[in-house]
Amino acid sequence: MLVNENKHFERIKDNLIKPTIISHLYLVLIVIFTLGITSICNSQITNNIGLKDSNCILVQDSLSILPSSVIIEYQNIRLLSNEYTVVDNEILGLPTLCKKSDSLKISYRTFDFRFGEVLSHLDTTKMVKKDIVYIGYDYSPFKNSNNQALISGKGLDYNGSFTRGFSVGNSQSLVLNSNFNLQLAGDLGNGLKIVAAISDDNIPIQPEGNTQSLQEFDQVYIRLSKDKTSVVAGDYQQQSRNSYFMKYFKKLKGASVTHGQSLSTTKNLESRASFAVSKGKFNRLTLPVEEGNQGPYKLTGANGERFLIVLAGSERVYYDGVLLERGEDFDYTIDYNRAEIVFTPKRIVARESRIIIEYEYTDQNYLRTLYTLESNYTSNKLKISTQFYSEQDSKNGSGQAALDSIDKQILATSGDNLMDAVRSGVNALQEDASDQGRITYIMLDHPSSSNPDDFILKYSNDTNMPLFTAIFSEVEGGNGDYIIDNEIGTNGRVYKYVGSGMGTYLPTIRIVPPEQKQMLTSRIEYQISKNTMLYGELGWTNLDINRLSNLNKEDNQGLATNIGYKHEWALDSAKLWRLSTDLNYEYVDEKFNPLNPYRVAE
């Protein structure tokens, strides 16, 4: 019994001693941690801080602040801890505290280091072996190697794009595509300004003529200007100014220079010169229409050319004297590559409809160059304008129209008679592979001629006889001997002889001669009074339809003149109603050939 009581006493003693030991151990640890914290903290710092309405950062130290050591007093009253916040090395006050126009007394202690500072023992970017040479290239799409802009200049604004791509398909090979666009405008310095628009596409196509606006490809336009002088280079448009007889609108590729000069306070002189390659040739066509047929109608050239390309945006279509608008939702659409026009239901085509179309087209026969000179003088009462225009084809054809010695000899002897500028389209069949499968003919004696050099062609593929190939050209009705034979089933067009003057085709090749157009005009306007003016214009033209011939030159040049008098009267005191009179005299020589029609279409 005594033993059991002793064991019970020992268990009670152990339960009393263990909590006491643990509590003393916690106390010792707290004392050690406090002493450690105290040993790494600096002495107390006290500052008087002036409050500012826009600054809620009360303290910003270089070391981390001990939050429990912060004491802030305002007017000798200690603030509560919820009126400020300690973040690493900063003491931030609440907005209500910052609005007080007084000062605070702040005391705090700091650690010997800053917890928010990034510390590293090694620079990992330099951890490379000594024998290894870095040959890599750091590329950034936002800056170049010199940390400079692609185009230098503070006064330049530019934007654009450069793309490359490829396309593949199950019925085509790999095709690489590229596109470049750049728009640039601004000041290059020293008063020199630039405006540029450059676009390039590796698929140069013309836009479709089914919308009002056109987006053209492969265009380069650069304009440099300084003071009263400007230079335009690339693809640009030019039209006539201040002239009654000279009317033109051209799409060009070249350069133009314009210079203005002030002769006095009331007298100015402006000059312009340009040299370029002309892209097109002008034609005005009165379209033959059919009742209820909206199209397509084929456009032809000035000399009856059937295969041509119309320059995009150069056409002007008049319907009974009204200028039409292009677009599927408007009056007409046009296929520039096929030179075909279709009218929409908004404009019903009738037999009596008068449709006149003006357009520029390229015939791809010759390289056509153009140069112009222009001078304009203006003063208070006098205006003088002089313009010179010269457009000519090169004397050597290009592409399929390249001229050989026989062609040049034919053109030299034909003069202005273009009906004689033809050569035979008949050639003996060659035995090479290029002539296999072509339409062939045999030669027969002419049935109505005893001349042994006259013959007719008949379709045949009998290899036992001499065979020939032929190129036929369409001629005006009554001048041909052949028609298209639709009864022979073959892969190609076959022609048959129907009699002299009974057909519309001949086995000949028409040779297109190089042309030259020149025009000079001079116009004077004199303001007699505020409401009265005298004016006059003299025009001279030189049209050579065959530059390779010296024959028939006597009818190339012509003259024209226009003289007029204008006067206006005010019919009421407020000058809201005015009466204008214009007395005009015009003389035009029969040899005068203007560049384009100078009168309106109707």
In this prediction, residue 417 carries a pLDDT of 85
Q: Which residue carries 């010269």 as its tokens? A: 390
Average pLDDT (313-323) is 88
Q: What is the pLDDT, as a whole number, of residue 26? A: 46
Q: What is the average pLDDT score of the chain?
A: 79
Q: How far is CA 279 from the centre of its chain?
A: 16
State which H helix or E strand residue 90 sits in: strand 90-93
Contact status, residue 438 vs residue 459, Cβ threshold 8 Å: no
Sign of CA dihedral 356, 362, 366, 372: positive
* Closest C-alpha to 283, from 295, 300, 308: 300
Q: So what's the pLDDT on residue 215? A: 46
Contacts of 377 (CB under 8 A, 6+ apart): 267, 268, 269, 383, 384, 385
Confidence of residue 17 (pLDDT cuts 50, 70, 90): very low
Average pLDDT on 344-367 reads 86
* Long-range contacts, 57-62 (Cβ 8 Å, 24+): 57/90, 57/91, 57/92, 57/93, 58/84, 58/91, 58/92, 58/93, 58/104, 58/106, 59/90, 59/91, 59/106, 59/108, 60/89, 60/90, 61/89, 61/90, 61/110, 62/89, 62/114
Q: Which residue has the higher pLDDT, 592 or 302?
A: 592
Higher confidence at residue 472 or residue 433? 472
Q: What whole-number distance in Å separates Cα of residue 221 and Cα of residue 194?
A: 10
R_g of the chain computed on alpha carbons: 47
At residue 371, the pLDDT reads 92
Of the two residues 140 and 358, the one the predictor is more confident about is 358
pLDDT at 304 over 50: yes
Mean pLDDT (whole number) for 359-384 = 89
> Residue type at 20?
T
Per the DSSP assignment, residues forming a β-bridge with 45 are: 108
pLDDT grade, residue 374 (50/70/90)? very high
In the DSSP assignment, the letter for residue 419 is: G
Average confidence (pLDDT) over 549-572:
90
pLDDT at 94: 75
For tokens 């000949």, what's the residue? Answer: 508
For residue 66, pLDDT beyond 70: yes
pLDDT band at 19 (very low <50, low <70, confident <90, very high): very low
Flag whether pLDDT at 218 surpasses 80: no
Collapsed DSSP state (helix, strand, coil) of residue 407: helix
